[in-house]
Amino acid sequence: MELDFKQLGVAIKAIAEEKNLPEEVVQEAVEQALAAAYRRDYGDREQEIRVTMNLNTGEVDAYITKEVVERVGSDAYEISLKDAQVMKKNAAIGDMIEIHEKVETFGRVAAQTAKQVILQRLREAEREIVMNEYEDKIGTVINATVARVEGNIARIDLGKAQGIMPRSEQIQGERYYPGQRIKVYLKDVERGFRGPQLVVSRGNKEFIEWLFRGEVPEMESGAVEIKGIAREAGVRSKIAVASTVPGVDPVGTFVGGHGTRVNAVMSEVGEQEKIDIIVWKEDAAEYIAEALSPTKVAKVEIDEGAKKAKVIVPEDQLSIAIGKSGQNVRLASKLTGYELDIEAERLHAPVEEAPVAPAVEAAPVAAKPAPAEKKASVKPITPKLKKKSELENSLLEAIEDFGE
């Protein structure tokens, strides 16, 4: 198996066009492969060799770098001063000189080596160019298709490249299947041992922000803005919004007429994920109270140094403030940047009137013996009524007195 350089030149041009690669990139990859092949057939593995190729004619030239020495110890790396001065008149000992060699062909093993190196270099070159193109799209949302699902990792087809979406970047409870069309947020381009890797996400807070950016044109004009987002993907999100134009309701702007805007975002991330939109406040205490929405907050005590806050809420609001599995207070803490301690409001007034309160509560109890006391005051009269003779005598006396 020998390399036909002219056919190779034609193939290089075809590959460059097919892969949408610059011709010089493909040519460089091929020249590196030919240099490796030349070392195998004609030189030494450690030799410094440069190979050039004319894609039109198929001519290949090799340039071997050698050191000028007084006495040659190794022909592969050294050249005598006399021979060097034939090629370069002012050559001196210690100089590095390139020796030109015409390459006509390669042997079977060298040709196979060249083929493998060319394929590898082309794959690397194609990947690098694609990655450089997608580096400009980091931090944006891209329309994509699910290629396949491997365990906890979803392979996402982005068009010219493929990205990965690990479990940590997925929406909780969301299921993916090959061919499914989805929107993803291009999070990063990681350069690892196997080359660059695109990392995409649907579970980060930036994804929510970009979805709202597409639904709320006022964000582009700067009339409203998102000040902060706390998200537990697939469960709940809290978004703090503000208006820069007097009279513009930021919450209403993001919700949209009849909830059209927020519903459009929810349909993309899943109806199971609830989205709370609150008004951002410059005052930390007011901001914390807003962040705990829909809780009614009685008082907020802030420890600015420790970045902690004690939030006092009515007793019937305690469970709402904490939320299911602590979700509400956890998201509010993420949103505001304060560690929140929720406490139920103590009813101080009744405690101060404690001596009076028992009397009020005991009134019904005290009221029970009251009739007995009244009865007790009536009892002395009852015996007199029982003494009939006394009653008759007093009645006769009264009649007699009246008659007189």
For residues 52 and 392, which has the higher predicted lDDT (pLDDT)?
A: 52
Amino acid 132 reads N
Residue 278 to residues 301, 324, 333: CA-CA distances in angstroms?
20, 19, 14
pLDDT of 53-62, one tens digit each?
Answer: 887 777 888 8
Q: What is the pLDDT of residue 397?
A: 67
Q: With 50 as the cut, is the pLDDT of residue 353 above it?
A: no
The rounded distance, in Å, linking the Cα atoms of 111 and 36 is: 10
Answer yes or no: are the C-beta atoms of 393 and 399 closer than 8 Å.
no
Three-class DSSP category at 196 = strand
pLDDT of 202-238, one tens digit each?
Answer: 999 999 999 999 999 999 999 999 999 999 999 999 9
What are the start-end ranges of the E strands in 138-194?
A: 141-150, 153-157, 162-165, 181-192
The rounded distance, in Å, linking the Cα atoms of 231 and 242 is: 18
Structure tokens at 9: 């030149």
Q: With 60 as the cut, is the pLDDT of residue 360 above it?
A: no
For residue 29, give the nearest of 162, 94, 116, 125 by alpha carbon. 125
Q: With 70 as the cut, is the pLDDT of residue 377 above it?
A: no
Instruction: Please name the helix (run of DSSP H) or strand (run of DSSP E) that holds residue 117, with its range, or none.
Output: helix 108-135
For residues 301 and 189, which has the higher predicted lDDT (pLDDT)?
A: 301
Q: With 70 as the cut, is the pLDDT of residue 368 above it?
A: no
The rounded distance, in Å, linking the Cα atoms of 52 and 28 is: 9
Q: Determine how β-strand 236-243 pairs with β-strand 153-157.
A: unpaired
Q: What is the pLDDT of residue 192?
A: 63
Residue 66 to residues 78, 85, 100, 381: CA-CA distances in angstroms?
5, 13, 11, 143
pLDDT of 9-20, one tens digit each?
Answer: 787 778 777 777
When pLDDT is averaged across residues 331-342 and rounded to a whole number, the result is: 96
The rounded distance, in Å, linking the Cα atoms of 170 and 204 is: 8
Supply the DSSP symbol for 223: S
Q: What is the pLDDT of residue 16?
A: 76
**pLDDT class of 3 with cuts at 50, 70, 90:** low
- Domains in the chain, start-ordered, CATH in brackets? 5-132 (3.30.1480.10), 137-201 (2.40.50.140), 281-346 (3.30.300.20), 357-403 (no CATH)
Structure tokens at 255: 């919700």
Answer yes or no: are the C-beta atoms of 126 and 182 closer than 8 Å.
no
Residue 11 to residues 7, 58, 115, 217: CA-CA distances in angstroms?
6, 11, 12, 50
